[in-house]
Amino acid sequence: MTRADANTNLLLSATECSGAVAITGLGRFDVIVKDGDIWAKLDRATAVWAKFPREPGPVQS
């Protein structure tokens, strides 16, 4: 992933996915694989941003 406002250490393969994504001003989330399921563990800032309803359209920071 290439974005000036984001950092990640995601590790992806055909069978695994893990790591974290941090987006400046929007927060951070961790990718967790458990029992064959993939979960995103959001921090408070990301959860507030992702909460619906919100205005439609692109993310603006």
pLDDT at 59: 58
Q: What is the pLDDT of residues 15-27, one digit of tens each?
A: 677 788 888 888 8
Structure tokens at 24: 């400046």
Q: What is the pTM of this model?
A: 0.58
User: pLDDT tier at 57 (50, 70, 90 boundaries)?
Assistant: low
Q: Which residues, 6+ apart, have CB-to-CB distance to 44 below 8 Å?
A: 27
CA 23, CA 5: separation in Å to the nearest integer? Answer: 6
Contact 45, 22 (CB under 8 A): no
Answer yes or no: is pLDDT of 8 > 70: yes
DSSP 6-31: EEE--EE-SS-EEEEEEETTTEEEEE
Which of the 8 DSSP states describes residue 34? E
pLDDT at 9: 74
Mean pLDDT (whole number) for 23-48: 84
